[in-house]
Structures are given as C-alpha cells and as structure tokens.
Amino acid sequence: MMGDFTIDQLTIPATLNGPGGADFIRSVEVGNEVEAIGYGTADVTYEPDEELPIFSNPHEPKHVLVARVGGGIVARALCETTLGDDADTAWLTTEVLPEFRRRGIGTALADAVENMALADGKSKAIVYSPVAEGPGPRMDSPTGYGSIRADDPSVTFLTGRGYRLEQIERLSRLPLPIAGLDGLVVAAEERCGPEYRLHYWVGRTPERWREGIAHLGTRMSTDAPTAGLEEPEDIWTAERVKESDDRAERMSPRRRITAAVEHLPTGELAGFTILSVPQQQHRAVDQYATLVLKEHRGHALGMLLKVGNLAHLERVKPGHPSIMTFNAEENRHMLDVNEAVGFVPVASEGGWRKDLR
C-alpha cells in the first residue's frame, strides 16, 4: 500500500474471457485513453484482442504493472524486453489517467519498471512518449530535427528521472483512397527498371520468402535511424518468421498485407513493406516496417513498395479511412516518399534514453 493506491503485476491471460482477462482489458483501455490524449487521436490504439497476441510473444517478453485506486485500475506501466545475448535494452512505458496524476503514482510505477529492467540484467531504458501539441516553450531534438512542447508532463517527469531526449518521431496520416493509384504503380515500376519485381501476400509469409523476410527484419532493427537511442539489433530467423506468422494467424484479428521486391538477377529480396489492417472497416490501417537494403537504394524502390502495397490494400481490404505511420524526423528519405504519397504530420513523440547502470 502506497498512499491511497496499490500496485500489482498482471499475469498475461491465455484468453480475454478467462482468468485475468478483465484486468488485462482494463489495463489496455487505460493505456489507450492516455495515448489518445498524447497523439490527439485514437487512430493508433490497438484493442485488447489485438494486444493479447503481441503480449503473448515469447521473443518479446512483456511485464504489465497496474496501479489501483479503490480496486479500479487507474494507471499502467510496461517493461518490454527482447531475448538474445546482447539484449541490453528495456522499453518502458508509464501511463496515468489524467484525474489520478500528481499523487506519486507515475513515480511509483516508473521506479518499479526500472527495477524490473535492472533485475532482468538490462542496462538501458528507452521510452517513447507522445506529446500533445500546444503553445509555449519548445525542447529541440539533439538530432537537429523536430521539437516537442517543453512543458508537457512527460518532459518534466522524464527529465526529472534522468532521461535524455534523443530523437523525435513524427506520426503521419494518409487519407484513403488515393486517386490514380494504378498509374502511380506503373510509373514506379518504370522508374526502378527491369531488374526488380514486386510480390504480394496476405497473412503468412510464403515459405520461399521466409529467409529473405528474416534478413530484412534483422536489418530493419539496425538500418532505421535511431539516433542516440541506439536501438539494439533484433535478430530474425526463418523459424522466428514462421512462428510469428503462426501466432498472428491463430490469435490476431488483424491482417498483414505485405509487398516485397525481388532483385531478379540474384533472386533475393531487396525490400519490403507491411500494413497491419484491423477487422473493422471504419478504423485506420497501421504501417509496419518498410525497408530497402542499403545495396539496393537509389532505384526508387521505397516508392515502388509503398504505392504497390497501397494498391494491394485496395484490392484485398478496401474501404479503410486512412493509414498511420511513425517516422524519425531525421529520416528524410522515408519522409520524402511518404509526403509524395500524401501523408501529413499529425503528432510528435519523444524518444528518451536512460542508462540504468
């Protein structure tokens, strides 16, 4: 018991209807409510049935703590890690409902998840935190790209806990549908020349491409700019791709729409992009990874992949209102492609780091 609140750890439930399901659902709702304020939109929130498979992923263990007042959950904190020998990083989140702030709940939860990370042998914490726009003083990113409101509670809170702002991410929205999409795909195919060919699939990765997707997945963790956050390498294997696909098929109501580009002379994949589509047509689609391998850059493959997969989405899951995507503010190549397609900025998120030992 601390003050008028208590803290406990949730067990990730096997199903939402079974033991622990109601608490898990409520913890997701609390997180979603806080995030909708920070992003100024609920378009990036995942429902409990979409979160459960993500929280059940053995490659990315997650601990959930909640704070209760009068028995009801009013705040949550997450400690997320990855497996692997050089896995030195924990990704932490602390979210308190607005009406329960400034009474020490955030501090108690953040202390607890930092201690969990330390007990897990992690030496570094990374926190991504949305910042609602507004007037007033700004805090600039040390990368030179982007700024956030300096008097946001997250800034005061995290600075006070010894975190450094390292990077700013931009959340952007693309309204759908896009006029003249098929023409854009033809133009992109002409620009990249005869050595490259697009492949498309929904859901499971075809066996033929599992190795290639694993390689791209690993490179995604090292090749996307992460500034002073120094996000660690996350190694994918064909087996992990299969296991991840199987879990998604079994548990997730969302569908993955993939486009990948083959380099015909070598038969290898040069890049990929994935959209994650919710079941409900009125909800936004989420952009997952997009990557072109370094040795294949300069052939306009980023644009080819993006417009190719947008056309693929139109064919297999039409009617969604928009696509949401996160990009580092300094990632000009990716932002150029996205802006050319029609993405517009809607919110900012700070990327913070603390060395725990």
The site for ligand COA (CB under 6 A) is made up of: 34, 38, 93-96, 101-107, 127, 129, 153-154, 156-158, 160
Least distance in angstroms from the C-beta of 252 to ligand COA: 25
Least distance in angstroms from the C-beta of 201 to ligand COA: 35
In the block, residue with structure tokens 């075809």: 206
* Residue 154 or 338 with smaller CB distance to ligand COA: 154
* Residue 103 or 199 with smaller CB distance to ligand COA: 103
* Residue 69 or 251 with smaller CB distance to ligand COA: 69
Q: What are the φ/ψ torsions at residue 292 (nearest 5 degrees)?
A: -115, 125
Residue of 132, 130, 131, 150 lying closest to 140 (CA atoms): 150
Least distance in angstroms from the C-beta of 90 to ligand COA: 12
Q: What are the φ/ψ torsions at residue 154 (nearest 5 degrees)?
A: -60, -35
167/91 Cα distance (integer angstroms): 15
Least distance in angstroms from the C-beta of 187 to ligand COA: 42
Coil, strand, or helix at residue 181?
helix
274/309 Cα distance (integer angstroms): 8
Least distance in angstroms from the C-beta of 35 to ligand COA: 8
* Residue 137 or 160 with smaller CB distance to ligand COA: 160
Least distance in angstroms from the C-beta of 238 to ligand COA: 34
317/174 Cα distance (integer angstroms): 16
Tokens of 282: 């009125």
Least distance in angstroms from the C-beta of 104 to ligand COA: 5
Residue of 231, 85, 239 lying closest to 166 (CA atoms): 231
**What length is written for the chain?**
357
Angle between helices 181-192 and 301-316 (to 10 degrees): 150
Coil, strand, or helix at residue 141?
coil
242, containing H or E segment: helix 238-251
User: Which residue of the chain is nearest ligand COA when measured via CB?
Assistant: 106
Least distance in angstroms from the C-beta of 132 to ligand COA: 9
* Residue 38 or 308 with smaller CB distance to ligand COA: 38
Peptide bond into 175 cis (omega under 30): no
* Residue 48 or 106 with smaller CB distance to ligand COA: 106
Residue of 345, 271, 340, 279 lying closest to 301 (CA atoms): 271
* Residue 62 or 101 with smaller CB distance to ligand COA: 101
* Residue 156 or 266 with smaller CB distance to ligand COA: 156
Least distance in angstroms from the C-beta of 121 to ligand COA: 22
Coil, strand, or helix at residue 223?
helix
DSSP 299: S
* Residue 152 or 262 with smaller CB distance to ligand COA: 152
249/255 Cα distance (integer angstroms): 8
Please say whether the beta carbons of 170 and 329 come within 8 A: yes
